[in-house]
């Protein structure tokens, strides 16, 4: 598989997730979305959604400057979220792209960059997710392994992993926390899980007979909190695969 993302997909919308850091399981909730409309980007809160209700119970108060009392915001939404990314004028911006598996010379819009990067900051719990509503037959994305070394459950240690080694995806319908969970493995050892925000899309693609391939792209973080990123390719070339074939060998 190529070292970087080859097929950049321009999104029509981006899903907004919020992580409750006080939660025992560091739960993530979908609280809204950014939508392109009439030449601007609009923030829409999912005020009636079940995940929003749970998020509010966990202390969610809305994205800064966009109060929850209003379901939709259109004033300077893009400006607010672009402040989560470094400016393109930075001398090391090409390196920022490459660390997110985006070729330095790629033509990527600001809106797409928000989705591909996740636009995460260290302490506020927000993340944007590209839903790939209209994907091509093959495309790539970078996934951060969720739960790596969390509560010492992962079987693989960061020092034993190698960039470029293959990753397998294994469905866990019997998972007591989430029946949609997809485990990520390397050489038969558990790494962690696909982040929750990407599960709907991956299950949709797998239901259409898609194939998942993954390689370890980057390992960083700290000794106490190592981070593992997997460059993942989703291809629909094998349409004859049954929809229940959720274990895909890279």
Band of residue 1 on the pLDDT scale cut at 50, 70, 90:
low
- Which CATH number goes with the domain that contains 216? 3.30.70.2330
Whether residue 59 sits in one domain with residue 10: yes
Question: Residue holding tokens 């929850």?
Answer: 68
Of the candidates 134, 165, 200, which is a domain's last residue? 134
User: pLDDT: is 97 or 238 the higher one?
Assistant: 97
Whether residue 162 sits in one domain with residue 245: yes
pLDDT in the model for residue 21: 74
Band of residue 25 on the pLDDT scale cut at 50, 70, 90:
low
The range of the structural domain enclosing residue 231 comes to 137-250
CB 231 within 8 Å of CB 101: yes
Across 73-94, average pLDDT: 97
Number of domains in the chain: 2
Whether residue 238 sits in one domain with residue 147: yes
Whether residue 250 sits in one domain with residue 219: yes
| pLDDT, tens digit (0-9, with 9 covering 90-100), for 99-111 | 999 999 999 999 9
pLDDT in the model for residue 242: 40
Of the candidates 68, 102, 134, which is a domain's last residue? 134
Whether residue 185 sits in one domain with residue 63: no
> What does the H/E/C string look like for 193-249?
ECCHHHHHHHHHHHHCCCEEEEEEEEEEECCCCEEEEEEEEEECCCCCCCCCCCCEC
Whether residue 154 sits in one domain with residue 32: no
pLDDT in the model for residue 156: 63
Band of residue 56 on the pLDDT scale cut at 50, 70, 90:
very high
pLDDT in the model for residue 177: 87
Across 81-91, average pLDDT: 97
Whether residue 126 sits in one domain with residue 2: yes
Across 176-183, average pLDDT: 92
Whether residue 83 sits in one domain with residue 24: yes
Whether residue 158 sits in one domain with residue 45: no
pLDDT in the model for residue 152: 47
Position 250 pLDDT exceeds 80: no
**CA nearest neighbour of 77 among 111, 122, 125, 116:** 111
Q: How far apart are CA 107 and CA 201, in angstroms?
A: 24
Position 243 pLDDT exceeds 60: no
pLDDT in the model for residue 241: 39
Whether residue 151 sits in one domain with residue 50: no
């Amino acid at each position: 598989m190529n070292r970087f993302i080859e097929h950049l997909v321009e999104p029509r919308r981006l899903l907004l997730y919020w992580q409750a850091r006080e939660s025992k399981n560091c739960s993530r909730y979908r609280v809204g979305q950014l939508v392109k409309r009439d030449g601007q980007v609009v923030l829409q809160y999912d005020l009636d959604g079940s995940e929003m209700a749970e998020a509010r119970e966990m202390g969610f108060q809305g994205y800064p400057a966009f109060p929850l009392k209003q379901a939709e915001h259109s004033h300077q939404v893009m400006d607010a979220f672009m402040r989560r990314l470094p400016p393109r004028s930075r001398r090391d911006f090409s390196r920022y792209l490459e660390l997110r598996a985006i070729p330095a010379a790629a033509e990527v819009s600001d809106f797409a960059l928000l989705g591909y990067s996740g636009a995460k900051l260290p302490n506020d719990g927000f993340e944007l997710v590209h839903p790939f509503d209209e994907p091509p037959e093959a495309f790539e994305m970078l996934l951060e392994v969720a739960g790596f070394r969390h509560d010492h459950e992962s079987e693989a240690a960061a020092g034993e992993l190698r960039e470029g080694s293959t990753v397998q995806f294994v469905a866990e319908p019997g998972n007591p926390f989430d029946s949609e969970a997809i485990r990520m493995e390397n050489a038969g050892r558990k790494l962690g899980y696909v982040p929750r925000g990407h599960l709907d899309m991956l299950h949709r693609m797998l239901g259409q007979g898609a194939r998942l391939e993954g390689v370890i792209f980057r390992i960083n973080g700290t000794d106490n909190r190592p981070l593992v990123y997997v460059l993942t390719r989703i291809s629909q070339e094998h349409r004859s695969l049954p929809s229940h074939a959720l274990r895909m060998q890279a």
